[in-house]
Amino acid sequence: MSKMAVALFCAGWLGLAWGQEQTAPLSPDQTPPSKQEVSAKTPDTRLPEMTVSERRPTTAASSETMRARDFELRPHTTTQEILNNLPGLIAGQHAGGGKAMQYFLRGFDNDHGTDIALFVDGVPVNMVSHAHGQGYADLNFLIPETVERVEFSKGPYFVEWGDLANSGAINFITKERASEHSLQAVGGFFNTMRYTGVLSPQIGSVQTFLASEVYFSDGPFKHPENYRRYNFFGKFSLPLTATAKLALWLSAHDGDWDASGQLPLREVHARRLHRFGAADPTEGGRSDRQNINLIYTDTPSPQEDWLLQLYGSRSKLTLFSNFTFFQHDPIRGDGINQDDSRILYGGRARYAKLWALGDLPTESLLGIETRHDEADVGLFRQQHRQRFATTTKVAIRERSFSGYFRQEFFLREWLRLQVGARGDVFLFRVNNRLPPSAGAALRIHGAKTDGIASPKASLILSPFQKPSSVWRETEFFLNFGMGYHSNDARDAVQSGGKPLARSTGGELGLRTRLWETLDLAAALWLLDLASELVFVGDEGTTEASGPTRRWGVDFEARYPVLPWLFADLDLTYSDPRFRVTGQAIPLAPTFLANGGMTAIFANGFSGALRLRYLDDRPANEDRSLNARGYLLADLLLKYRWKNVEASLQILNLADVDWRQTQFASTSCVAREVGTDPRCPTGGSGDGIEDIHFVPGSPLNLRGGMTIFF
């Protein structure tokens, strides 16, 4: 894909921003600095006290909370749309709407979550040692209307985040109350319907927040997706004392879908298969998840902060896939069924205190965590969703125990230093559940223990202190950190390697606000990873590969062009390679951009034009196959009159033919068996290497109505 359109857009945006008067007013999401922002000596790290409109991070240039205006006017009907609004992040869907998304961040194809950690109020979304891949992170249980803000950090520089948080970590913070009750109905192309309700009554001293969602869609496919999703969320907040509060929330999710799966590009190019057709229309799955989360917070003094948390989840996924069609079994096909049923529970305690070391102000942060996964995991052969053979069947017990500390020193008014470390210990146990007649290679059994220590350090400088300086709101950041990801327990107990793979990263960045209008941020970063996780389609699991290196540049900008018109632009470039061979890391993103213009009028009307770009990238290590990029445009319109709001979204405005997700893998379709030497009639041939993709949605129109009361 040509980069000319992106270059023209970026040049035009910057020219427009710099050409405006420097006295434009603050945008609606920019609030006057709080006491915590004014004084670097009294930073506030408490989650309940942070606001959506916080402009500057405390540790790294690339870490931030999504701005209120960004969140309000960018599309967020689904969690995928929320994620695609985050700087430097692309989320795509393949094999049906009910499956976990594929995440691209900082040169990582994270697949379903191998090197990106996701949380909802601290409850882990990622599933370790999952049937469909390490770190499987399905966000379909999260109702977008329950999200108050999104905390987003990149790189392994933060002691709070441990396993999988290499490319970054995302924590969705849910609301405690709604200012208005609401009922919403949305409908659109492809038989899409969505109904939501939000109630937030005060019952005595208990503040409640209740939300529900019902969603249906067939998608643009020739074989309808028949996706249905039901969600419920209930949160109850109780003040215990003037400084302490107890919050409890519960959620339930149920989903079911059919999938057109991944299409071999050769068949689509030859017009033997429609772009929205299916090579195996029996793919799809079912999922459900229930969560409970209890959080106690206390601020006994302005210098102290406590957090205690207990959480639990039950989840189940059964997934029917066919990645290679007839390559291994020309008679019944290569369909597989991955089944994962688990209970996840854990907790954390965190304490922060601001104190003085002689004349030196300092802040201490201490935390401990534990997590326990008890999962029954199976891989089966299936045809038309009927199992006929078992490949593996195990019970997995995986436990982790973690502790961390961070010490921050306020050395000068313009200089801060953070040092810290995190320690994690993992216990893996896998018990075979196959009968003794099964082959020894299939009867996975064993136990293993591994631990890792991860030091972190950050230096933050604010050298321009004069009130008259245009650079007075400029901060420079130097970050270093080690992190890790855990490998699948089945691999951990069998292989001779380490179950925990080390990452090492550094970042140099700045964040500034010029003339009280133009917000800019930039970061130059590097990350080494000792072992990469690669998805193996025909086996439906992941395997470890060699060490990798990534470096790149992030850039963000926000500017109020006019009192009613706001512009934003996010750019990310990365160079991902295997360290030993220099070969490409398959599907790792190299360049992406997200930007647009937002208009907000006093008469209740608002609108936004959004652009999202992902560049072409190598699909395999030797770069012989290419994953084609795309440039998409969305138009979003809203109008509120009294207690009624109407919305219209035109997605993929230019009706671009794009591929949402794609892989380089081998396969054999039915017509190739026996006619191509790579697809012998006896099966188990080499197969034909090709791009296999899931098409992105064409022009999509959605309209909705919300009633507030």
For residue 272, give the CATH number of its domain.
2.40.170.20
pLDDT in tens, 451-470: 999 999 999 999 988 888 88
Give 78: exposed, middle or buried? Use CB within 10 Å, 0-12, 13-18, 19+. buried
Decide which of 467 and 401 is more confident: 401
Predicted local confidence at residue 52, as pLDDT: 33
596 assigned to some structural domain: no
pLDDT in tens, 625-668: 999 999 999 999 999 999 999 999 999 999 999 999 999 999 99
- Tell which phi-psi region holds residue 261, choosing left (phi > 0), alpha (psi between -120 and 50) or beta: left
Q: Please give the average per-residue pLDDT across 698-707, as a whole number.
A: 96
> Closest Cα to residue 540, out of 667, 378, 315?
378
> Is the distance from CB of 667 to CB of 323 less than 8 angstroms?
yes
Q: How many domains does the chain have?
A: 1
> Is the distance from CB of 611 to CB of 652 less than 8 angstroms?
no
Tokens of 273: 């298969």
pLDDT of residue 588 exceeding 80: yes
Q: Please give the average per-residue pLDDT across 9-18, as a whole number.
A: 39
What are phi and psi for residue 342, nearest 5 degrees? -150, 160
598 assigned to some structural domain: no
Angle made by CA atoms 467, 469, 471, in degrees to the nearest 5: 115
Q: Please give the average per-residue pLDDT across 688-698, as a whole number.
A: 95
Handedness of CA 617, 568, 152, 185 (dihedral sign): negative
pLDDT of residue 304 exceeding 80: yes
Mean pLDDT (the chain) is: 88
pLDDT in tens, 551-566: 999 999 999 999 999 9
Predicted local confidence at residue 546, as pLDDT: 85
SS3 509: strand
SS3 3: coil
595 assigned to some structural domain: no
> Closest Cα to residue 188, out of 688, 709, 636?
636
pLDDT of residue 373 exceeding 80: yes
- For 627-647, the three-class secondary structure string (H helix, E strand, C coil) is ECCEEEEEEEEEEEECCEEEE
Banded model confidence at residue 441, pLDDT cuts 50, 70, 90 = low
Percent of the chain beyond pLDDT 90?
A: 77
Predicted local confidence at residue 251, as pLDDT: 98
> Closest Cα to residue 123, out of 247, 285, 209, 255?
247
593 assigned to some structural domain: no
Residues 128 and 373: their CA atoms lie apart, in Å, by: 8
Predicted local confidence at residue 40, as pLDDT: 36
Banded model confidence at residue 15, pLDDT cuts 50, 70, 90 = very low
Tokens of 662: 């794609």
pLDDT in tens, 200-243: 999 999 999 999 999 999 999 999 999 999 999 999 999 999 99
Give 581: exposed, middle or buried? Use CB within 10 Å, 0-12, 13-18, 19+. exposed
Strands 500-514 and 541-545, sheet pairing? unpaired
pLDDT of residue 480 exceeding 80: yes
Strands 415-432 and 446-461, sheet pairing? antiparallel
pLDDT of residue 533 exceeding 90: no
**Which of these ranges, 65-69, 653-657, 701-705, has the smallest mean pLDDT?**
65-69
Q: What is the largest CA-CA distance in the chain?
A: 82
> Is the distance from CB of 446 to CB of 394 less than 8 angstroms?
no
> Closest Cα to residue 527, out of 279, 197, 167?
167
114 assigned to some structural domain: yes
Residues 649 and 672: their CA atoms lie apart, in Å, by: 43
Top mean-pLDDT range of 55-59, 69-73, 234-238: 234-238
Tokens of 682: 């006896």
Banded model confidence at residue 55, pLDDT cuts 50, 70, 90 = very low
Residues 591 and 553: their CA atoms lie apart, in Å, by: 10
Q: Please give the average per-residue pLDDT across 575-603, as a whole number.
A: 93
pLDDT in tens, 175-198: 999 999 999 999 999 999 999 999
pLDDT of residue 536 exceeding 60: no
pLDDT of residue 290 exceeding 60: yes
Range of the domain at 168: 4-588+603-708
276 assigned to some structural domain: yes
566 assigned to some structural domain: yes
682 assigned to some structural domain: yes
Residues 578 and 581: their CA atoms lie apart, in Å, by: 6
